[in-house]
Amino acid sequence: MHLVQMFLPLYDTSGQRVHRALFEGVRAELTGHFGGVTAFSRAPATGLWEDDDGDVQRDDVVLVEVMVDHVDHAWWRHYRESLEQRFRQDEVLVRATAVERL
């Protein structure tokens, strides 16, 4: 079993707040495809990183995750690319971790 996590930004690359309907659409899509989804949306996480120029960048993100039996890399690559377009991002982080259900 794997936990797939998506870090969805609250603001696009121009600094405009992402419309709530985009998050609702992602939740609906993932629930329909995988049968469930968890979204940590009440207290956004803050991501900090250093860009190529040495400047510290910041993103406020909502963490969305699903549990899957198998990671279909091609499907997730296509979905990530779709998220990048919809959320107007250079990159959306999507990661998968092997987990054990207890």
Contact 76, 4 (CB under 8 A): yes
pLDDT tens, 21-62?
Answer: 999 999 999 999 999 999 997 777 888 888 889 888 888 899
Q: What percent of the chain has pLDDT over 70?
A: 100
Residue 49 confidence (pLDDT):
80
Six token digits for residue 62: 């909502």
The tokens 């963490």 sit on which residue?
Answer: 63
The yes-or-no verdict on residue 75 having pLDDT over 80 is yes
Per-residue pLDDT band at 99 (split at 50, 70, 90): very high
Q: What percent of the chain has pLDDT over 90?
A: 75
Who has greater pLDDT, 44 or 17?
17
Estimate the share of the chain in helix, then strand, then coil, as percent rounded to the nearest 5: 30, 40, 30
